[in-house]
Amino acid sequence: MKLKALFNKLVSLFVLFPLAAQAEWGLNLRQGATEISQKVYDLHMFTLWIMVAIGIVVFGLIFWSIFYHRKSRGVKPAKFSHSTTVEIIWTAIPIIIIIALAVPATKLLIAMHDTSGSQVTLKATGHQWKWQYDYLDEGLTLFSNLDEKSQEIRQLKSGLNPQDHENYLLDVDQPIVLPINTKVRILTTSNDVNHAWWVPDLGWKRDAIPGFTNDNWAIIEKEGTYRGQCAELCGKDHGFMPIVVKAVPMDEYKIWVAEMKAAQDAKKNTANIVLTKEELMTQGEAVYKKVCLACHQANGQGVQGVFPALAGSAVAIDPANRLGHIHRIIYGKNLMPAFGEQLSDVEIAAVTTYERNAWGNNTGDEVQAKEVSEARNK
């Protein structure tokens, strides 16, 4: 009975595991939420069962031959060197199998690249280490970073348990929203190094390459939240730039776009906002955790030899470097990316104030949005 139970487990693991595809920790591909993803799954299953059949036939013949042609049965070795008939058979059968697989695979590849008739166009640009999304038909741009809770947990010696966060490293501060039952064209490119935009439930992955634009498309058939990740090794924080897609009906999508455009317009007009030092520090800390903490760390000490410390740094404490500090955030330098497009004047003012007064820097500086607005033109 024990041998029978062990045999059944082995069969389940090596032969029948595709049946558990939708189970948690399943070993098979996801069927996904698009027609393309379902076709990829079906082609995968078709190929898998052909491989299983080949394996059974080949190993069956090997074991049968070993058993029935063993020396103890008195079998004498054959004297022939080759068989033309056998050679023709074992050449023809693989060719037929390859054609049977190549035809549907080619049709699927062609379909995956047919972006004609798309109704929404989304451009995804990879940055170290976040995603920028441009809704080209709507004039809307947003940035998507790893969520704050994951940022806190991932810090060295944070003492926090990743298991306490349901979507640790798979959540973002700003998900993208796409309409269901609508053909969406998704362009992928990069601002620095090679990245890759991958959401398994859409059924495909596309490289994001500097100076080059790839495209693909999806029609998401079901409402829901679909998660993915960068799938190209892109540097220190490669594992910390997830993708979250929320699929909603078209009416909800239009409302969301209108709200995001209003927020975007408001963000552009913050130069005249004046905050108290306490307000600057509070908002600055939030901005720091969102876009700076990954490299410069929660304690402002950075990563030795890679990302410089801000605590005690001349950039952050020397009065003569105040403008340079602001410019560094706006335009970036060396490995540090430019945040001028991502952050508003008031956000840059707040994070500059925070960095000049946190971790014992204590310069007493208060940078206001107007100073940042003027710095953009210097």
Structural domain that includes position 361: 277-375
Q: Are residues 136 and 229 in the same domain?
A: yes
Tell me how many domains the chain contains.
3
The β-bridge partners of 227 are: 244
Structural domain contains residue 364: yes
Q: Are residues 101 and 205 in the same domain?
A: no
| Token couple for 365 | 């500086």
Final residue belonging to a domain, choices 58, 93, 112: 112
Q: Are residues 102 and 159 in the same domain?
A: no
Q: Are residues 127 and 108 in the same domain?
A: no
For 161-165, 245-249, 352-356, which range has the lowest pLDDT when averaged over its residues? 161-165
Instruction: Give the separation between CA 293 and CA 130, rounded to whole angstroms.
Output: 13
Q: Residue 228: in which H helix or E strand, if any?
A: strand 224-230
pLDDT tens digits for range 265-301: 887 778 888 999 999 999 999 999 888 887 888 888 8
Instruction: Give the separation between CA 343 and CA 122, rounded to whole angstroms.
Output: 21
Question: Cα angle at 257 between 254 and 262, to 5 degrees?
Answer: 130
Instruction: Give the separation between CA 289 and CA 96, rounded to whole angstroms.
Output: 58
Final residue belonging to a domain, choices 61, 89, 112: 112
Q: Are residues 201 and 219 in the same domain?
A: yes
Q: Are residues 245 and 145 in the same domain?
A: yes
Structural domain contains residue 171: yes
Q: Are residues 134 and 107 in the same domain?
A: no
Q: Are residues 263 and 130 in the same domain?
A: yes
Structural domain contains residue 26: no
Structural domain contains residue 1: no
pLDDT at 40 over 80: yes
pLDDT tens digits for range 312-348: 888 888 888 889 899 999 988 877 888 888 888 999 9
Structural domain contains residue 188: yes
pTM for this predicted structure: 0.77
Q: Are residues 147 and 214 in the same domain?
A: yes
Amino acid at site 255: I
Structural domain contains residue 183: yes
Strand order in the sheet with 214-219: 140-144, 130-135, 120-127, 183-190, 214-219
Domain at 187, CATH number: 2.60.40.420
Cβ(204)–Cβ(32) below 8 Å? no
Structural domain contains residue 9: no
Q: Are residues 84 and 164 in the same domain?
A: no
Q: Are residues 288 and 354 in the same domain?
A: yes
Domain at 370, CATH number: 1.10.760.10
pLDDT at 20 over 50: no
Domain at 96, CATH number: 1.10.287.90
Report residue 79's pLDDT band, with 50, 70 and 90 as the boundaries.
Answer: confident
Structural domain contains residue 10: no
Final residue belonging to a domain, choices 206, 237, 268: 268
Q: Are residues 153 and 219 in the same domain?
A: yes
Q: Residue 211: in which H helix or E strand, if any?
A: none
